[in-house]
Structure formats: structure tokens, C-alpha cells
Amino acid sequence: MNFPLPISNLQLGLIIGGVLLVLGVIIYNHWQERRVRRRIASAFRPTEEKESARVEPTLGSAPHAGETVAIRTHRAPPASTASPPQPAQLSESTFVPPMDVIPHEKMDTAVRADEAAVATAYEAAGAGADAQYSGVQPDPDIESILTFELDQPIAASAIGAGFGAHLGKPVHWFGRRDAGAPWQLLAADAPGAFVEIIATLLLADRNGAASKAQLDAFQRLALDVAGGIAARVSGPDVASEVNRAESLDRLCADVDVQIGLTVVKPEPNAIAGTRLRGVAEASGFRLAGGGRFEYIHEDTGTVEYFLQNVRNEPFTADSLRVSSTPGVVFVLDVPRVADPTRTFDRMKLIAKRMATTLGAALVDDNRRTLDDAALTGIRAQVEAATLALKRVHIEPGSPRAQALFGA
């Protein structure tokens, strides 16, 4: 009778190892199969499921062939085929002021967050219509605002170096003498004491959006000032403000429009600089420091439109005495004037008169003659640009527009 030989420890170990190896292979293959399935599903998933949709502010549609080219923007280089939207082509922008769409979160631990204080500052920002020294007021839709909680009233001079800060974007300091008083734009020599202080940094202008580095520097500046006046600082965190700045800059790029009318002398003739200056000054222009002639509104003191060299070279008193130019460009900066359409009408008349006086032609950027029909079309462009600004809560010529569309 045969009896089976006992299994040795070595054999038992090999059997167990083999079973575990087979199980491991099965489990690994199953894991790999699930991984591949997930990748395939992800690759064929609709884009809108993989990315959160972001609605950018847009205005109008593609240009139509044959339209008058008379538009420029500051935030993008001019294109020879670019044309602004016509009134009927404008679409309602989905953009609303960024304070309403980008929530503010707490600042880092270096700055004590106090959302109630921030909200109070934002509400008060629109309350100071009669501010002393300047009509400038805090604008929470376009500025980052930091609030200083004071233990006792302080003089404006206590802010010290805060007034001389250069961060690449305008910084303003505002104070209130009591809780019910209007905000006052502060200078180092402002008299009296203030019970509330806020600082503001513009989030975007024609140089672009405020960067993270600039916003970081703004908050460090606020902390430095607070340390010298025994105050606590509250406000939104840098990340949320960077988002607001970029959103605001995109919006402004869509509505940043200039209209140009060119007065050019047919070749080989040119306009003598002395002759040009005489005609320009007789038309109400004055040579400005920026190398251009400016037409100043006599009541407001603001620039209505300006005259620049068609050669893109600055005009100076010296250059005008010894040189000539083939032409000049009348430029209407739509966001920066209070009534763009009426201002265009005045600019058009002066441009036509100057062309006649100089024996020159009135043309567009492509050197096509501008007759009355073409000028009527450009006027419609100005109306469309004005409407676009108003639809996104930027009143042409307002302090908000002057800030956003400044250099």
C-alpha cells in the first residue's frame, strides 16, 4: 500500500507563492483595465464637462467689407481691417461690475480680515459726492480697497511714506472726519484729524491689469502704514483681486475705442510746420507737452480731441519751425469725453475746415477719401462705442472712465 509523501515546507512555500502571483496578475490586469477605461472616457468627454465655462465680455461681430476704417484701440495694436460694431450689431454684454461676480475672501493672516468693515467702506465709497480738494472718490468696482481701523483720530501727515508710493498703478488715500462725513482725498498737508482711513489701488488701466506683485506690494504698503499709526487693516485677498483686475482689463479692452480722421497733403507736397501750427492754433488747438496739439474744452478744461503727426513723430516747437509733415490725424478718445457723438461732430467740422485751408484731403486710415456719407458712418461708430461703454457701466468722460482709460 502506497502512502503519499508529506509536502515539504519548500513545496508549500512555492505553491502559496504561485497562487499569490496569479492573484496579483489578475488584480493588476483589472486595475490597468479600469485605468484605461477612465482615460478613454476622459478623452471623449465633452469640453464643457471638463472645463468650467467663462463668459467673456464681447461687443459686436466681424466687420463688413467696405466699412470705413477709422478706429483705434490702446490695449491692442491697430489692425488695418478692424472695424467697430454698428449699432444694430451690438450684443448685450453679460459682464456686470466685478464686485458683483468675484467674491472677496479673507486676506492672509498678516492682515486681520474684517468683512463687515470692508462692506462698510464699499458702501461709503459712493457717499462722498461733495468731497473736498477733489471730485475723485473711491470706486470699489475698479479699485482694490483696504480699510484701516483706527484706535484714535489721526492727521493725514501720519500716513507718511504712503503718499509717495509708486506701485505702477495709482494709489489714493481717503479719510473721513466722522462716520457721516464724505470721503476726502488726502494729501500729506490735509488739515484736521480723520477717524476713518482707506487706501485704494486702481485694478486696470491702458497699461494692463494690476499684477499679483503690485497687489502684494499694495498690501505690504498698507501694513507698513498701519504699523506706524496703530491701526488694523482689512480687505480682500490678493488672489481675488488679481482675478478682478484681469476681468476688468478684458472688459476695458473690448470697449477701448479711438476714432481718427486724417488730413493729408497729396505727394510730393507737404505741410510746413510753421503753417500747420498757425492753422491749428487758429482752430483752437494748443501744443501740449506730449508732442501733440490738444483741443481743450473751455468749461471743463479736459481734452476733447487732439492732433498728432501722421508720421508718428512728436511735434515740438523746434521741430515745427524747421520741418514739414505730409499730414496730421485728428483723434477722438471716445471713453475720455463726456459726449462723444457731439464731440465728434465738432471735430469733424474743424477737420474739414483745416483740410480746405491747407489744400489737403480728408481721408481714413487707408487713405480713402471721407465724403459726407463716410463721415455719417463714422459717426454711427462713435454712437455704437458710446453705447457699448454705457452698457458695461462706464459713463464716457466720467472719473471712472478717466481712470480706466488713462495711460
Same domain for 183 and 265 = no
User: Any residues with CB less than 8 A from the CB of 61 and at least 6 apart, and which?
Assistant: 85, 89, 91
Assess if residue 296 is contained within a domain: yes
How many domains in the chain? 2
Taken in order 10, 11, 15, 18, the sign of the CA dihedral is: positive
Q: Is 295 in contact with 284 (CB distance < 8 Å)?
A: yes
Range of the domain at 129: 106-236
- CATH value at residue 319: 3.30.1400.10
Q: Examine the fold and report which residue of 205, 236, 267 is the final residue of a domain before the chain moves on.
A: 236
Same domain for 191 and 112: yes
Q: Would you give the DSSP letter of residue 182?
A: P
Q: Is residue 278 part of a domain?
A: yes
In terms of domains, do 232 and 264 share one? no
**Residue 138: per-residue pLDDT:** 92
In a domain, 229, yes or no: yes
Set of cell numbers at residue 214 = 503690485
Are both 397 and 260 inside the same structural domain? yes
Residues 265, 222 share a domain: no
Determine, yes or no, domain membership for 295: yes
- Going from the first residue of the chain to its last (407 residues), give the mean pLDDT of each consecutive group of 10, the final group possibly shorter: 56 68 62 45 36 30 35 46 32 30 32 36 36 65 94 90 89 90 89 93 96 95 91 93 96 94 88 96 94 91 93 94 95 96 97 96 91 95 96 94 90
Same domain, 147 and 224: yes
Q: Cell triple for residue 108?
A: 492672509
Please report the pLDDT score of residue 263 as a whole number. Answer: 96
Are residues 209 and 280 located together in one domain of the fold? Answer: no
Laid out side by side, the sheet with 184-185 consists of 184-185, 171-176, 196-202, 143-150, 231-234
Do 280 and 354 reside in the same domain of the chain? yes
Same domain membership, residue 131 and residue 214: yes
SS3 assignment, position 185: strand
Which of 127, 126, 156, 153 has the alpha carbon at shortest distance from 139? Answer: 126
CA distance 255 to 35: 48
Whether 228 maps to a domain, the answer reads: yes
pTM for the full predicted model: 0.67
265 and 377 in a single domain? The answer is yes
